[in-house]
Amino acid sequence: MNVSEPPARLAVRNIDDLVGLVPFLIGFHPAESLVVVVIESGQVEVTARVDLAAVAEPGALDDLIGRLFDRFPRAVGWFFAYSADDSCAWEVLGACSGLVGATRVGRLLQVSDTVWRADHPDGPSGALNGTVTAAAAQAAVLGLPARASRAALAEGIAGPPDAEIDHLLGMFERAAAALDRASASARARLLRRLLREPEPDLFAQARLALLVDEPAGMLIALRALSRERASEQLELWTGVVRHCLLGYQAVPLGLLAMAAWQTGDGALQMVCLERLDRIDPGLPLAAVIDKLNHEMVPPGAWPELRRPVLAWLAEWSDELADRVREAALPESRPGR
């Protein structure tokens, strides 16, 4: 499930406006998806997206709706089923209505490639003719992303193309050799400086990936994360991931997901988490991101969460170091 929070106030006057705004709220143009827009006191509080196939699983829709409306008990929900399959779309929308009750449904909408239809299969409709709505135009001006598809979003964090690998291997070898000669305090100072660079080059990106691969470096990078600098960190870690060797991608992906959470980009956060699940499912930072996503924790909670999260990750890294040291000890000789 992708969960996004609106980063700015946008004027929505009609259904066309809201349909046009949804791709900006979730970060991409949805397909075969259920999108829930939670509105309280006339303001969008959170937007969630899930594959239609996923909510067909027993209990999945109940869990999604329950978590959303437990967090916002006085809100109403606008439910969008993105599909050309009328039967499937309205079955899911009907189930949503039944779960929240008629008084908490804003509107039910089926959205296909060409039209939207509201309330029921024969209800009022509107054409999707490619015209940019006023709300969508506002979102674009504010710099909110609306990628062509979720696949395009995933492609953007898939790492370097094969043609770059040999060049990056040399870059990482040089960076690793230089870092090996530096003390722990020197590496920490270098990392703090690199975290402030607006446009790090490939060599700097390689050093960033290597430095945060160490537990101490990961903690420094997380400590530096703030909502005020989240957009800069988003750009920084996106660049690192795009030019990072596979063996070093996990922590930069986790840091990118944390920056995405801070900017309200739930789609990017979730795509990072899914890639982490493929390349390093045991990464503790992934567990933190999964919990933030599952519990829909708002970015504003980070100042209170920073200390306990860093403490938990530090404890984990100490335990890992102990296990590595124990594994490296020579076996006792017979009779000793």
- CATH number of the domain at 20, please: 3.40.140
Tally helices (H) and strands (E) across the chain. 15, 7
Q: What share of the chain in percent tops pLDDT 70?
A: 84
Q: How many domains does the chain have?
A: 2
The whole-number pLDDT of residue 247 equals 94
Q: Inform me whether the pLDDT recorded for 59 exceeds 90.
A: no
Asked if residue 169 and residue 143 are part of one domain, the reply reads: no
Pick from 14-28, 30-44, 224-238, 271-285: least confident = 14-28
Asked if residue 250 and residue 199 are part of one domain, the reply reads: yes
Range of the structural domain that residue 311 is part of = 156-328
Q: What is the pLDDT of residues 102-128, one digit of tens each?
A: 889 999 999 998 899 999 999 998 887
DSSP 304-327: HHHHHHHHHHHHHHHHHHHHHHHH
* Pure H helices in 5-102: 15-26, 52-55, 60-71, 86-100
Asked if residue 112 and residue 223 are part of one domain, the reply reads: no
Asked if residue 166 and residue 308 are part of one domain, the reply reads: yes
Instruction: Tell the burial category of 8 from Cβ atoms under 10 Å away from its Cβ (0-12, 13-18, 19+).
Output: exposed
Asked if residue 177 and residue 109 are part of one domain, the reply reads: no
Q: Which residue, of 88, 120, 148, is where some domain finishes?
A: 148
Using pLDDT thresholds of 50, 70 and 90, give the confidence band for residue 321.
low
Tokens (6 digits) for 79: 């439910």
Asked if residue 208 and residue 318 are part of one domain, the reply reads: yes
Whether 117 is in a domain gets the answer yes
- State the chain's mean pLDDT as an integer: 84
Bridge partners (DSSP) of residue 35 are 49, 80
Whether 35 is in a domain gets the answer yes
Q: Which residue, of 103, 126, 148, is where some domain finishes?
A: 148
**Residue 204 carries which side chain, given as an amino acid letter?**
A
Whether 333 is in a domain gets the answer no
Q: What is the pLDDT of residues 67-106, one digit of tens each?
A: 888 888 889 999 999 999 999 999 999 999 999 988 899 9
Asked if residue 297 and residue 316 are part of one domain, the reply reads: yes
In contact, 102 and 95? CB cutoff 8 Å = no
Instruction: Tell which residue, 180, 254, 174, 232, has the closest CA to residue 206.
Output: 174
Whether 246 is in a domain gets the answer yes
CA dist 205 and 207 (Å) reads 5
Asked if residue 201 and residue 296 are part of one domain, the reply reads: yes
Whether 323 is in a domain gets the answer yes
**Residue 291 carries which side chain, given as an amino acid letter?**
K
Whether 336 is in a domain gets the answer no
Q: What is the pLDDT of residues 246-304, one digit of tens each?
A: 999 999 999 999 999 888 888 888 889 989 999 998 899 999 998 888 787 888 889 99
Q: What is the pLDDT of residues 136-175, one digit of tens each?
A: 444 443 455 556 577 877 888 899 999 999 999 999 999 9
Q: Which residue, of 109, 132, 148, is where some domain finishes?
A: 148
Bridge partners (DSSP) of residue 116 are 111, 126
pTM of this prediction? 0.72
Tokens (6 digits) for 108: 């039910």
| Those residues with Cβ within 8 angstroms of residue 91's Cβ, 6 or more apart along the chain or in another chain | none
Asked if residue 164 and residue 143 are part of one domain, the reply reads: no
Mean pLDDT within 10-14: 62
Whether 335 is in a domain gets the answer no
Q: Quote the DSSP letter at residue 147.
A: B
Whether 266 is in a domain gets the answer yes
| Those residues with Cβ within 8 angstroms of residue 226's Cβ, 6 or more apart along the chain or in another chain | 262, 302
Asked if residue 259 and residue 143 are part of one domain, the reply reads: no
Asked if residue 39 and residue 113 are part of one domain, the reply reads: yes
CA 166 distance to own-chain centroid? 30
